[in-house]
Each structure stands twice: as C-alpha cells, then as structure tokens.
Copies of this chain bind each other. A is one copy, B any other.
C-alpha cells in the first residue's frame, strides 16, 4: 500500500517532519511518501495562502494518480482543496483537520483545538461545522506562533504546552487536537505532560487513509465527486505556470 502525504506549503523542512510523523504511525507494508507542490505559499495562514496552495496540491494529486498511489493525506489544518482532490483521486483523500477532529470524537465528550494564529480560528470553526464536530469541539485556541516560527522559536514548545493547559482548564475537554501540521512532532511529549490524549492530525489522517484502503473504501463517484471531463489536461495546466 502506498500513501502520498502532501504538505500543501513549499517549506521542505516541514515536509520532512510531516513525513516522519506519518511514517511513524503507518502499519507494516505501508509506504508513505511526503511531498510539497513545486509552487505555492511557504506557509498557509490566510485565505489567500489557502487559495493559492490549491493548484499545486491538485497537481500533486494528479501526478499521484499517474504513479498509482492508493490514497492521499492533505497535511495542512485548513484542509485546502479537499473536495477538489476527492474529485481527482480514485482512492481516498483525507485532510488532517477532519481526521484529527473526527478521531478525537472517539475519546470522550469533547476536545479542544490548539492552533497557530488567531486569524485562522474562523476557518477552523467552519470546518467543525462541515465535519459535524461543532458540538464536540469545545474551543479553538490560538497560541500566536506563525507556522514557520514553529521550527525556529525556542519557546514554541512551552507556549503550546501552556495553551493546551489553558484550553483544558477552560473547556473541560477529554483530548487536545493540534491545529497545524508543523506541530506533529510535539504530540507524544504534550500528551505525557498533560495527562490527556493529544492528537496530531498528520498521524490521524495517515492511519485513517491506511484503514480506508485496507477496507477497500473510496470516494463515491456517482455524483458530486465523479471525474469531470475538463479536469484532465486543460484544467490542471491552469495555475501551475
């Protein structure tokens, strides 16, 4: 089984970290390849970033189809381009926000999300509505660390831990969902420090794709997600310069 994990931003160090976290959770016999688009924003922290990351992401899906991947992970907490990717791919496609939050729903009554910038909280709320976890999600907390500073800010881990502690105290949650692919490596540490389960969406989405492929489940192709004639060729050449 081959799973392609796509980091929709173009920061290679983050793609490497995401790949490691995805491979750590994959079962025996599962190959995980982590990639970035050739072009696109270096980080995704605005609606413009989100929109401009999608063409490159879709190109990676199209390339993945040629290469015969069994399923895909979209490794950005905004789940950019998820529906379009489902239209293009034969196998399952899972976003890390949807997998992170749905997985958390199995662990009790509610969870809290700890994410990067406050300006992204509105979009995360929209996703809780779309994925049917609005009632389970008891709070979305920004720690105001920009995505790319997660790798460089020496206080990042401490700031995130404090945000998790505050979230638990305020929300009375049963679990924490990390709201950025760039936080994936902090997961086990935080869980130990907090005494509750901490969910990294990259791991959750990778394990979910593996599960779906093993169960031979794939996106319904009879209606909204049927392939569209124009998507082959002309469509994808647009926007990829």
A positions within 8 Å CB-CB of B: 25, 27-29, 39-43, 45-52, 54-56, 58, 81, 83-84, 86-88, 92, 94, 98, 102-103, 105-109, 118-123, 126, 129-136, 168, 172-175, 188, 191, 195-197, 199, 203-204, 207-208, 210-212, 214-226, 228, 230-231, 234-236, 238-241
Contact = CB atoms under 8 A, between A and B. Distances in A.
| Max chain B Cβ within 10 angstroms of own Cβ: one of A50, A133, A217 | A217
Contacts of A230: 41-43, 45-46, 48-49
Contacts of A241: 238-241
A68 B188 CA distance: 22
Number of copies of this chain that the complex holds: 6
Contacts of A215: 25, 103, 199, 203-204, 207
| Max chain B Cβ within 10 angstroms of own Cβ: one of A87, A120, A123 | A87
The 5 closest A-B pairs by CB, nearest first: A241-B241, A174-B220, A132-B132, A46-B228, A108-B220
A179 to B, nearest CB: 15
Contacts of A203: 215
A214 B88 contact: no
